[in-house]
Amino acid sequence: MPKLSHLDDKGAVHMVDVGAKPLTSRTAIAEGFLEAQAETLDLVFSGDLPKGDVITTAKLAGIMAAKKTSDLIPLCHPLPVTSVKVAIDRINNTRVRLEATVKVAGQTGVEMEALTAVSVAALTFYDMAKAVDKAMQIDGIRLLMKEGGKSGLYQADT
């Protein structure tokens, strides 16, 4: 098993020093799912939910979350994110797929930013629609792809 980079020689937690690493272009894509009643999704996707535009608000929340990841995850580096895109698509009567793509030219990857964007977008969706459907479920949040940096390309099994 490789040595964990967030532990020093004595086993204490520390932030990894990436200062000597070269700037490279990096991208990460994450996905997640939200399950809800068909009637709830009908209201959301028709724009008839009384609380407002769920889709736009959830996308915006995901974008904002990606930029704030280092404030939420203790050992994440603050990154000069160059692009965040959040997509929200209804894939059947009761299921929504959320996807976040995050890019940076930096010294460390943006996997956590993509995962945070999807998570917060899903939570915002839930928050805005919970008045009509408290039984919604969020699941399947995972990294789909990352590229750039020393470890190169990773693609999840589909």
Q: Which residues are catalytic?
A: 127
Give CA separation, 134 vs 125, 131, 138, in Å.
12, 7, 12
- Per-residue HEC secondary structure of 55-84 comes to HHHHHHHHHHHHHCHHHHCCCCCCCCEEEE
Distance from C-alpha of 71 to C-alpha of 65, rounded to nearest angstrom: 9
Distance from C-alpha of 101 to C-alpha of 18, rounded to nearest angstrom: 22
Helix (H) or strand (E) holding 126: helix 111-129
